[in-house]
Amino acid sequence: MIVDDERPDMSLDLDFDCPRCKGPASESFYGPCSSCRRELSLLGGDKRDVRAAEYEPKMNVTPNQVATKE
Ligand SMILES: [Zn+2]
Protein backbone atom coordinates (compact mmCIF):
# COMPACT_ATOMS: atom_id res chain seq x y z
CA MET A 1 0.00 0.00 0.00
CA ILE A 2 1.56 3.28 -1.14
CA VAL A 3 0.83 6.45 0.81
CA ASP A 4 1.94 9.44 -1.22
CA ASP A 5 0.81 11.86 1.46
CA GLU A 6 3.90 11.05 3.53
CA ARG A 7 6.20 12.37 0.81
CA PRO A 8 6.52 16.15 1.07
CA ASP A 9 7.40 16.71 -2.56
CA MET A 10 5.29 18.46 -5.16
CA SER A 11 2.06 18.68 -3.23
CA LEU A 12 3.57 20.65 -0.37
CA ASP A 13 4.01 24.43 -0.41
CA LEU A 14 7.39 26.11 -0.22
CA ASP A 15 8.66 27.11 3.20
CA PHE A 16 10.50 30.42 3.22
CA ASP A 17 10.73 33.78 4.95
CA CYS A 18 8.27 36.29 3.62
CA PRO A 19 10.25 39.00 1.76
CA ARG A 20 7.88 41.63 3.10
CA CYS A 21 7.34 40.91 6.80
CA LYS A 22 10.31 38.51 7.18
CA GLY A 23 8.00 36.03 8.83
CA PRO A 24 7.83 32.32 8.06
CA ALA A 25 5.61 31.65 5.09
CA SER A 26 4.36 28.54 3.34
CA GLU A 27 3.10 29.24 -0.13
CA SER A 28 2.99 27.54 -3.50
CA PHE A 29 5.28 30.24 -4.93
CA TYR A 30 7.96 32.47 -3.41
CA GLY A 31 6.57 35.90 -2.58
CA PRO A 32 4.65 37.80 0.06
CA CYS A 33 2.86 35.54 2.54
CA SER A 34 -0.90 35.20 2.45
CA SER A 35 -1.42 37.90 5.10
CA CYS A 36 0.89 40.29 3.25
CA ARG A 37 -0.82 39.60 -0.04
CA ARG A 38 -4.06 40.45 1.67
CA GLU A 39 -2.61 43.75 2.86
CA LEU A 40 -1.14 44.50 -0.55
CA SER A 41 -4.45 43.87 -2.27
CA LEU A 42 -6.16 46.18 0.18
CA LEU A 43 -3.46 48.81 -0.35
CA GLY A 44 -3.61 48.42 -4.11
CA GLY A 45 -4.98 51.91 -4.66
CA ASP A 46 -2.34 53.52 -2.42
CA LYS A 47 0.64 52.48 -4.51
CA ARG A 48 0.49 55.72 -6.46
CA ASP A 49 0.68 57.74 -3.28
CA VAL A 50 3.85 55.93 -2.25
CA ARG A 51 5.46 56.64 -5.60
CA ALA A 52 4.51 60.29 -5.41
CA ALA A 53 6.17 60.54 -2.00
CA GLU A 54 9.38 59.13 -3.46
CA TYR A 55 9.73 62.17 -5.69
CA GLU A 56 9.95 64.61 -2.77
CA PRO A 57 13.42 63.55 -1.51
CA LYS A 58 14.78 64.12 -5.00
CA MET A 59 14.35 67.85 -4.46
CA ASN A 60 17.13 67.63 -1.88
CA VAL A 61 19.56 66.55 -4.58
CA THR A 62 19.75 70.00 -6.09
CA PRO A 63 21.00 71.82 -2.94
CA ASN A 64 23.63 69.11 -2.51
CA GLN A 65 24.97 69.63 -6.00
CA VAL A 66 25.26 73.36 -5.35
CA ALA A 67 27.20 72.67 -2.17
CA THR A 68 29.59 70.39 -4.07
CA LYS A 69 30.55 73.20 -6.41
CA GLU A 70 32.25 75.12 -3.59
ZN1 LIG B 1 4.45 38.53 5.02
- Answer whether 0.85 is exceeded by the pTM: no
pLDDT at residue number 53: 55
Which residues are near ligand 1, the ion (C-beta closer than 5 Å)?
A: 18, 20-21, 33, 36
Q: Give buried/exposed letters for 27-36 (b at 16+ CB in 10 A, else e).
A: eeeebbbeeb
**How do the domains of the chain map onto residue ranges?**
10-68
pLDDT at residue number 43: 85
pLDDT at residue number 38: 92
pLDDT at residue number 13: 82
How remote is the CA of residue 13 from the centroid of ligand 1, in Å?
A: 15
How remote is the CA of residue 27 from the centroid of ligand 1, in Å?
A: 11
- Local confidence pLDDT in tens for the 70 residues of the chain: 656 666 555 567 889 999 999 999 999 889 999 999 999 899 875 555 555 555 555 656 666 666 666 6
